[in-house]
Amino acid sequence: MSTTVTEKPIEPEAGSRRGLLHGLPWLVVRQHRTALVCVLGLTLLCALWIVYERHELIQLLDARGWPEKDAGQPLENHRGYEYITSILGGLPLILAVFIGAPLIAGDQENGTAQLVTTQSVTRRQWLIAKLALAYTLALVSGLVLSALFTWWWKPYRSVFLSEWIDGVIFDNTGPVLPAFLLFLTAAGVTIGVLVRRVLPAMVVTFLFTAITTMFVWDEVRVRLGSTQMFTYPLDGELPDRFAESYEVDRWVGSADGTLYGWGTCAEATEKAQDACIREHGIVNSVIEYLDYSQMAAMQWTAAGLLLAGTALLTAITLWRVSRRPL
């Protein structure tokens, strides 16, 4: 203390002591501020765009006298709709690969995990702050975009190109989008913690996300609700109320209820076909379907599954980080 230099404290960045954030939250926000700004910016951009496109759609539908008159396919080859759905489709990948995977792996690789956990904060406190940041980001982004997209789609779903069961609608509305973002972010974090290197972690996370969203989830989605059967005369028309139902399978059936595959009597000639129908005693058409009314329950089931997965991955991350050296 021999120096007599006027010890005016070095003023840290503007608003240092008066800022809202202190301690670990300040640190993680400062560390990840670029990523935060990017994701929140993308979310805001996409949100405003949805609001604009919804407004445009309403004007167009009004001009065409919808719903009394047929409005055609206003969203076919519609650039705005395509971009918005690509952003929504790409968001899980962005969050998992660019936020989740490097979240802990980056600090492990640079040694800053050691730096932070040899200050007066425990590993667990640090990890919780990190996860809180990533999960909050995923949740905020997911909730805002899902709410807006649902608000756009639901009243005008009949003019949308995709069915409710399609990934572009089912996964981007209701509780599914936030849950999906949380799950994939957690997956990215866990992969990062296990791999401990940023680049390999990002590659593995990319592959995991791609496989999950493109193959696995398509199989899971249609199995979230229990299908129902509807039987109607072979030469009859399917009632209108099934317009929004998703047809899982189609059968033909005899009077006693035996079901045969749809193509059982697909013969070359009508004569042969009639003979086949008579032989099996087929009198009914049967559809196996998922009704639109099941959508909400299926979406909550999906969200439940994804949140359970998130909880499991979080537990693995916490367990791994508290046991192994960083």
Residues lying near other proteins in the complex (CB under 8 A) are found at: 1, 3, 5, 7, 9-13, 16, 22-24, 26-27, 30-31, 110-112, 114-123, 323, 325-326
- Ranges of beta strands (E only) in the chain are 228-233, 246-254, 259-261, 282-290
Task: Determine the Cα–Cα distance for residues 265 and 5; give it in Å rounded to an integer.
Answer: 98
Residue placing its CB nearer to other proteins in the complex, 64 or 123: 123
Residue placing its CB nearer to other proteins in the complex, 290 or 326: 326
Residue 143 near residue 178 (C-beta atoms within 8 A): yes
Residue placing its CB nearer to other proteins in the complex, 24 or 165: 24
Residue 236 near residue 285 (C-beta atoms within 8 A): yes
Residue placing its CB nearer to other proteins in the complex, 13 or 237: 13
Q: Kindly state the smallest distance separating residue 14's Cβ from other proteins, in Å.
A: 11
Task: Determine the Cα–Cα distance for residues 276 and 130; give it in Å rounded to an integer.
Answer: 66
Q: Kindly state the smallest distance separating residue 77's Cβ from other proteins, in Å.
A: 43
Residue placing its CB nearer to other proteins in the complex, 120 or 269: 120
Task: Determine the Cα–Cα distance for residues 312 and 318; give it in Å rounded to an integer.
Answer: 10
Residue 276 near residue 254 (C-beta atoms within 8 A): no
Q: Kindly state the smallest distance separating residue 29's Cβ from other proteins, in Å.
A: 11
Q: Kindly state the smallest distance separating residue 192's Cβ from other proteins, in Å.
A: 17
Backbone angles phi, psi at 7, to 5 degrees: -95, 70
Q: Kindly state the smallest distance separating residue 22's Cβ from other proteins, in Å.
A: 6
Residue placing its CB nearer to other proteins in the complex, 112 or 254: 112
Task: Identify the sign of the CA torsion 84, 88, 89, 94.
Answer: positive
Residue placing its CB nearer to other proteins in the complex, 112 or 284: 112
Q: Kindly state the smallest distance separating residue 113's Cβ from other proteins, in Å.
A: 8
Could you tell me how far CA 88 lies from the centroid of its own chain? 8
Structure token pair of residue 170: 């089912």
259-277 per-residue burial string, b: 16 or more CB within 10 A, e: under 16:
bbeeeebeeeeeeeeeebb
Q: Kindly state the smallest distance separating residue 164's Cβ from other proteins, in Å.
A: 45
Task: Determine the Cα–Cα distance for residues 80 and 86; give it in Å rounded to an integer.
Answer: 10
